[in-house]
């Protein structure tokens, strides 16, 4: 007797093979049959998937739930957007290893780098570990809606070994310190960590503004620590570097030399962030070409790419706000949104703020948030992640014959102050997603960069997997679509296999029963909205979707019609997972 049979669905099995109509039978946490399952086969439950698409559960390998996993068993929005397995500890940041006197510093680091409210982390995390191995043991006692794997973050490791010096990006690790970091990493890998991660970008700073300690770590340090993976014979390397966004050709070449050393001297699978920056809009192609060269020599290297622009959300309820530099608005900022809206509707207040907005002198990135009207788009329902110039605040203002600042002001007050403006920062240099499509289709790319669990009040990209399906396989109007089979493969088998989870991401007998049953025509994201559900009253952006008829984790339904069921079969995944011994197509 089967525990669950999904009947008559359009199975897109995760391998990239053509879709087919089939039944899927599940016993316990495994798929036991795919094909025509007898109508007389008894089952504890059946799901009629006629007209629906059945896929493996999404495997998101780039998240930042490192603190949240310790208090939140649901891990939304990932869990309500079809994700059944996540990997955290990315970009060199996390909470282990951690000496007791470094807790506050690690919280400030994650607050600054990943925009996770420090007060929520301070209240929500119970700690209970010092070494990374102890962190794994703590996680091993927990249950979630989805499976969790984690990696050793360089910034935490460095400060654990080097103390205060480790937090200083100008400090050089000694040979003994590198050896100690390598030994600790090897122990963590042997005990179930999936890999080692590091950060080399100026954008990563603590909440008080200090650069991340790993920013300028020497090649000897990075390679020396990463050699722990070679010793253990397992594990992946993940990193972010300024290589994709820097206009400094010498810095880029030095960074690529470092990556080349990792490739040749460590010999483990590696992935790193590849995006398109406005100032260096073709740099990403140089990086993909370099990856092609390493791959031709037998290396396993992937560009982690996003499926839509990396975009900041602006609004009265968000952290980023185009009015923040106006003194009149600044005096109102701490009021509840409803009270601010009431004040902002006053004609005199409006006139004062508009005048101050024109006089404000703002440089660099804040200037874009302040007055980048051609890059601000009102967020629609469902969200349009490839808007046209006519859709921008500047475009709408021109059509109405008003000044852009006046149109922006009106939009900020819309929906009682809940309206958000979408500002694409990366992957939108030419105002469309043609280059992103090229990135996605590269033989050397891999879906990543969702940052789920991070950027709580600024960015809502944990829903990348849903956008990948809706935009690229169905909704795109400004260019070519991509086959559903390809997109499903990219966020199931391909991501799972990269981190060594060979037991999931495919619908076939013997594989984990991690599945999505999707109404492809109805699948749609709602706009993000702010919720105050973090510890200490902390807020974050939440984004839900319609069209997930069921999400199944280890054979158990965790989401039904977009709502969590309360079942939490997810567990810590230590290390790699073997593929089923016998697999039938």
| Half-sphere exposure (Cβ direction) of 279: Cα atoms closer than 13 Å | 10
Q: What is the pLDDT of residue 254?
A: 96
Same domain assignment for residues 373 and 283: no
The band of 367, judged by pLDDT with boundaries at 50, 70 and 90, is confident
pLDDT score, position 400? 98
Instruction: Answer whether 453's CB lies under 8 Å from 68's CB.
Output: yes
Q: Does the pLDDT value for residue 584 go beyond 80?
A: no
Q: In the predicted model, what is the mean pLDDT of residues 394-401?
A: 98
pLDDT digits (tens, 9 = 90+) for 122-147: 999 989 999 999 999 999 999 999 99
pLDDT digits (tens, 9 = 90+) for 240-294: 999 999 999 999 999 999 999 999 999 999 999 999 999 999 999 999 999 999 9
Please tell me the distance from the alpha carbon of residue 351 to that of residue 572, in angstroms, as a whole number: 55
DSSP H helical ranges for 22-117: 103-114
Question: Is 459 among the domain residues?
Answer: yes
Query: Do 52 and 65 fall within a single domain?
Result: no
Question: What stretch of H or E contains 118?
Answer: helix 118-124
Alpha carbon distance 70, 61 (integer Å): 18
Given a contact cutoff of 8 angstroms between Cβ atoms, the answer to whether 106 and 156 are in contact is yes
Angstrom distance (rounded) from CA 426 to CA 188: 34
Predicted confidence at residue 365, as pLDDT, reads: 73
Last residue of a domain, one of 424, 444, 471: 424
Yes or no: say if 511 and 492 are a contact pair by the CB < 8 Å rule: no
Q: Does residue 417 sit in the same domain as residue 437?
A: no
Mean pLDDT of the 320-343 span: 96
Cα 308 to Cα 304: distance, rounded to the nearest angstrom: 13
Alpha-carbon distance of 546 to 141, in angstroms, equals: 32
Residues 184 and 332 in one domain: no
- What are the beta bridge partners of residue 171? none
Within 8 A by CB and 6+ apart from 280, the residues are: 244, 245, 246, 247
Q: Based on the domain organization, do 358 and 401 belong to the same domain?
A: yes
Written in H, E and C, the secondary structure of 277-315 is CCCCCCHHHHHHHHHHHHHHCCCCEEEEECCCCEEEEEC
Q: Are residues 113 and 39 in the same domain?
A: no
Please give the pLDDT value at position 228.
98
**Residue 582 pLDDT level (bands cut at 50, 70, 90):** low
Query: Mean pLDDT for the chain?
Result: 96
Residue with tokens 């089952």: 43
**CB-CB contact of 254 with 223 (8 Å):** no
Residues 308 and 377: beta-carbon distance below 8 Å: no
CATH code, 164: 3.20.20.140
- How many distinct structural domains can be found in the chain? 3
Q: What is the residue range of 38's domain?
A: 2-56+508-530+544-564
Average pLDDT over residues 223-251: 97
Q: Does residue 362 register a pLDDT over 90? A: no
Is 583 a residue whose pLDDT tops 60?
no
**Sole residue written with tokens 């003194």:** 327
Give the model's confidence band at 41: pLDDT under 50 very low, under 70 low, under 90 confident, else very high: confident
Is the domain of 97 the same as that of 232?
yes
């Amino acid at each position: 007797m089967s525990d669950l049979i999904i009947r008559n669905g359009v199975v897109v099995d995760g391998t990239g093979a053509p879709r087919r109509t089939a039944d899927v039978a599940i016993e316990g946490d495994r798929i036991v049959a795919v094909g025509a399952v007898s109508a007389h086969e008894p089952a504890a439950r059946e799901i009629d998937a006629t007209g629906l698409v059945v896929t493996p559960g999404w495997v998101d390998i780039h998240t930042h739930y490192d603190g949240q996993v310790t208090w939140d068993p649901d891990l939304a929005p990932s869990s309500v957007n079809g994700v059944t397995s996540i990997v955290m500890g990315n970009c060199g940041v996390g909470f282990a290893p951690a000496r007791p006197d470094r807790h506050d510093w690690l919280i400030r680091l994650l607050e600054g780098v990943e925009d996770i409210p420090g007060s929520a982390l301070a209240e929500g995390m119970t700690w209970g570990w010092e070494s990374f191995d102890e962190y794994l043991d703590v996680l091993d006692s927990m249950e979630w809606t989805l499976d969790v794997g984690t990696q050793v973050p360089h910034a935490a490791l460095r400060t654990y070994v080097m103390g205060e010096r480790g937090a200083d990006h100008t400090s050089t690790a000694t040979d003994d310190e590198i050896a100690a970091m390598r030994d600790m990493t090897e122990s963590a890998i042997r005990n179930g960590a999936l890999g080692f991660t590091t950060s080399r970008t100026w954008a990563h700073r603590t909440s008080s503004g200090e650069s991340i300690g790993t920013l300028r770590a020497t090649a000897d340090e990075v390679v020396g620590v990463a050699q722990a993976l070679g010793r253990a014979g397992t594990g992946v390397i993940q990193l972010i570097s300024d290589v994709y966004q820097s206009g400094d050709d010498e810095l880029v070449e030095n960074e690529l030399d470092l990556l080349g050393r990792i490739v040749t001297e460590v010999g483990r699978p590696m992935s790193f962030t590849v995006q398109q920056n406005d100032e260096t809009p073709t740099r990403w192609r140089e990086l993909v070409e370099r990856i092609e060269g390493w791959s031709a020599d037998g290396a396993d290297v992937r560009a982690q790419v996003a499926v839509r622009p990396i975009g900041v959300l602006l609004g009265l309820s968000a952290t980023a706000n185009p009015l923040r530099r106006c003194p009149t608005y600044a005096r109102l900022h701490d009021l509840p949104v409803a009270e601010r809206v009431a004040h902002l509707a006053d004609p005199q207040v409006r006139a004062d703020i508009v005048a101050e907005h024109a006089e404000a002198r703002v440089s660099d990135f804040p200037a874009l948030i302040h007055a980048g009207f051609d890059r601000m788009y009102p967020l629609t329902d469902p969200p349009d992640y490839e808007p046209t110039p006519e859709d921008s605040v500047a475009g709408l203002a021109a059509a109405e014959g008003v000044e852009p600042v006046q149109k922006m002001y009106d939009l900020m007050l819309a929906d009682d102050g809940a309206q958000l403006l979408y500002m694409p920062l990366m992957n939108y240099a030419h105002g469309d997603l043609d280059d992103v499509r090229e990135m996605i289709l590269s033989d050397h790319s891999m879906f990543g960069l969702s940052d789920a669990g991070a950027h709580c009040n600024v960015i809502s990209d944990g829903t990348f997997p849903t956008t990948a399906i809706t935009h690229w396989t169905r909704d795109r109007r400004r260019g070519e679509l991509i086959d559903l089979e390809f997109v499903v493969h990219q966020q199931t088998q391909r991501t799972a296999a990269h981190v060594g989870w060979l037991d999931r991401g495919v619908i076939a007998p013997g594989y984990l029963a991690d599945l999505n049953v999707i109404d492809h025509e109805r699948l749609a994201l709602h706009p993000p909205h702010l919720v105050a559900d973090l510890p200490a009253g902390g807020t974050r952006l939440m984004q839900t979707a319609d069209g997930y008829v069921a999400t199944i984790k280890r054979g158990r339904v965790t989401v039904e019609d977009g709502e969590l069921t309360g079942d939490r079969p997810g567990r810590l995944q230590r290390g790699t997972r073997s593929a089923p011994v016998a697999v039938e197509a």
